Chain A
Amino acid sequence: MFCFLALIVFAIMGIFSASNRELAKEALACVFTRVTFRPCRTNFKDKTKAMLLGKLVTRSAVVAKFVNKNFELLSWAFFILSVVSTIWVAKGVYDYYLYGNCNGLNSSGFCVFDPKGLNSSVSSLNEKCYVKPPTEANVTLKNSNFSSFPVKNPQAKKKIIFIGCYLCDYTRAAYPQIKQLLKQNPDVSFTFAHFPVKAGSSYLSNYDYCTYKEDPKKFWNFNDLLFSSSKADLYDNPSYADKEAVKAGYNLDQLHACINSAATKTAVEAQQNEIIKTGIYGTPTIFIDGTPYIGPKPYRVYEHGLKPWFLF
């Protein structure tokens, strides 16, 4: 058993040190003889055991004695731990590839491949004071109705609902990925819901509501213009939004009439309530066929969400 364990350990350590690579080779030879039911002639186990005990005895003779007496048992224990941790690492790599985080979809736990946690970062709804902090498990579309939000291709079977904020960096990072995804998959329904997390962006909810109401076709161009604008230009700046609306082909008089109406105010409030009911705690939160993807994920993650592999 020791040979198997040593092979795993030294193979990993061998990545960093040539002397460990030599030990890994010896361990491999030992494993090979074991699996072919021949006696191990390299004395690898005894050699490594003695080296280990030699190191240990300088620190504690009692510990060294314990290790010597229970070497086989400890080898088994470490072997099992190695197998478990190897599976765990493999799962981490798998999760990172599919979900952008080693700990699974939307987890904010530490991931060595994304040490800064950028793939799970959101612009938080920090104006809220929760008794219990929200978790990704509570984010759902079940209680919300997104029919009043701008939607493209509503009849399509596959659906993406993008909840984002024009002034939020993470939303801005995710939006091009989703646009690319839609370009590659035109037969997908896409709903955009602006949720003003950052100060200075609330007014844009009215613009969104009214531009879509005035002309749904022109809305997507307007939406793109807002995302391609600088945050400084957009910050609490209706006149800038006006300019962009004109660029998109809207009539400002009609648009202002809508924006300033009481009905719009009520409708936008209703929309915000529908978003809040999803339980989101930051933007972007993107629902792909009902599954929330919180934070800006790599493109492959969204793609996998839209076209899952056969088993997963």
Chain B
Amino acid sequence: MNVSSIRQDFPLLRKDKPVVYFDSACQSLRPQQVIDALVEYYSEYPACGGRSTHRLADRVTKEVEKARETVRKFIKAAKKEEIVFTRNTTEGINLIAHSLGLQKGDVVISSDKEHNSDLIPWQVLVEQVGIEHIIVPSRENNTFDLAAFEHILQKQKSVKLVAMCFTSNLDSNTIPAAEIIKLSHKKGALVLLDGAVTIAHQPIDVRKLDVDFLVFSGHKICGPSGIGVLYGKQKLLEKLSPFMVGGDTVAWSTYTTHEFLPVPEKFEAGLQDYAGIIGLGKALEYVEKIGLDNIAKHEKELTVYMAELLGQIPNMHIIGPDAKERGSITSFYIPGIDSHQIALMLSESANIMVRSGQHCVHSWFAKRNIKGSVRISLSFYNTKEEIEYFGKQLKKVVSVLG
């Protein structure tokens, strides 16, 4: 993997004094290929897909279906009908939450490191429908406690859904999804994985995992913002009632009746983000070309090196397990120093972009009474030199704020 050559694909990184972008877990940077695809759509064939029959519309339909096929291959789904385009991960989770037909007393299980997008929908259903939402506490090192999960699972008469964050956006620790799915299925529960972080950093094989639903966003894997994917086993998707209905979800309608289109169209209401879909397809092709195994290896090296450097700073608390058990994210806090101040100072003084705060995992921070953390999220375009530079600058900032 030639990182220098890869960096040339990213407009922000080929500048004379490029930023050090360590916020890829929020949004990754986009390569020129994706930007070009968006520009090409808007300038060459900015038409509707799946509706009009003219030449431009036909091209849109074909490009959208090509992107759907790219997504299918990327996550190794069986059929492209199992790929539903959404706005983002959050919409995908909400679609499941509202379409699954959860009833009073139904049990949904999540981990204690869920992003708000996989926590609030269940909390709302607790209030509105009366479902039961159970949280699985993590082990002391913040990794998933499979035994605790199994225990909770066994204690329940029945469990309707296990909705889990595949890889945490807090510490990039990946849960043992295969075992969780196996146990859940044994109990008759469906499994929804939030793959927002995972998708850009390790290969996912939905069939091998046997996961029922997987959601992710385009903007975390070099794709445009505003586009996401819900994968669902076709049989399950067919059973779900659409969460949002309207244009392009029905085959026909009268004043009193309608007939929904088959999946995935019945879930894709209204005019779609064609540019986003096409851009996402390009992004996945781009990442595929680099290779997710190469990416994972490169990021692991960087994360381990990052942990070494951070370990040299006094009072440093790194959230989560050892670097070897984490992915590309390193969250840390130093008691007495505000994480936002660190982030702002790094931005102002050293052109380094990191995330600060509670990263939409407020619940985790609230439980532990921690104000927030600085989150460094790396990607395949980051380098060891950037990490060295970051280490030096962070020491300087900490010496000022400490």
| A interface residue numbers (CB < 8 A to B) | 43, 46-47, 49-51, 53-55, 57-58, 61, 64-65, 68
| B interface residue numbers (CB < 8 A to A) | 338, 340-350, 396-397, 399-401
CB neighbours of A54 from chain B (8 A): 344-349
B348 and A68 contact, CB distance less than 8 A = no
**CB-defined A-B contacts under 8 Å, sample of 25:** A43-B340, A46-B341, A46-B344, A47-B340, A49-B341, A50-B340, A50-B341, A50-B345, A50-B348, A51-B344, A51-B348, A53-B348, A53-B349, A53-B400, A54-B345, A54-B348, A55-B348, A55-B349, A57-B345, A57-B349, A57-B400, A58-B349, A58-B350, A65-B399, A68-B400
CB neighbours of B345 from chain A (8 A): 50-51, 53-54, 57
The docked-state distance in angstroms from the alpha carbon of A51 to that of B397 is 12
The smallest C-beta distance from A43 to any residue of chain B, in angstroms, reads 7
CB closest chain-B residue, reference A52: B348
Q: Contacts A53-B401, A55-B348, A55-B349 hold; do A61 and B396 have CB atoms under 8 A apart?
A: yes
The docked-state distance in angstroms from the alpha carbon of A61 to that of B340 is 19
Besides A50-B342, A53-B349, A65-B399, 4 more A-B contacts (Cβ < 8 Å) are: A54-B348, A57-B397, A65-B400, A68-B401
The docked-state distance in angstroms from the alpha carbon of A72 to that of B349 is 22
Main secondary structure of the interface of B (DSSP, over half): helix
CB closest chain-A residue, reference B348: A54
B399 and A50 contact, CB distance less than 8 A = no
CB neighbours of A61 from chain B (8 A): 396, 399-400
The smallest C-beta distance from A28 to any residue of chain B, in angstroms, reads 21
Shortest 5 CB-CB distances between A and B: which pairs?
A54-B348, A50-B344, A54-B349, A54-B345, A50-B341
The smallest C-beta distance from B17 to any residue of chain A, in angstroms, reads 13
Q: Contacts A53-B345, A58-B349 hold; do A46 and B400 have CB atoms under 8 A apart?
A: no
CB neighbours of A58 from chain B (8 A): 349-350
The smallest C-beta distance from B349 to any residue of chain A, in angstroms, reads 4
CB closest chain-B residue, reference A66: B400
The docked-state distance in angstroms from the alpha carbon of A53 to that of B399 is 12
The docked-state distance in angstroms from the alpha carbon of A57 to that of B346 is 10
The docked-state distance in angstroms from the alpha carbon of A283 to that of B346 is 62
CB neighbours of B347 from chain A (8 A): 54
B340 and A57 contact, CB distance less than 8 A = no
The smallest C-beta distance from A39 to any residue of chain B, in angstroms, reads 15
The smallest C-beta distance from A74 to any residue of chain B, in angstroms, reads 14
The docked-state distance in angstroms from the alpha carbon of A125 to that of B402 is 65
The smallest C-beta distance from B357 to any residue of chain A, in angstroms, reads 10
The smallest C-beta distance from B371 to any residue of chain A, in angstroms, reads 11
Q: Contacts A51-B344, A53-B401, A57-B397 hold; do A46 and B338 have CB atoms under 8 A apart?
A: yes
The docked-state distance in angstroms from the alpha carbon of A192 to that of B399 is 74
CB neighbours of B400 from chain A (8 A): 53, 57, 61, 64-65, 68
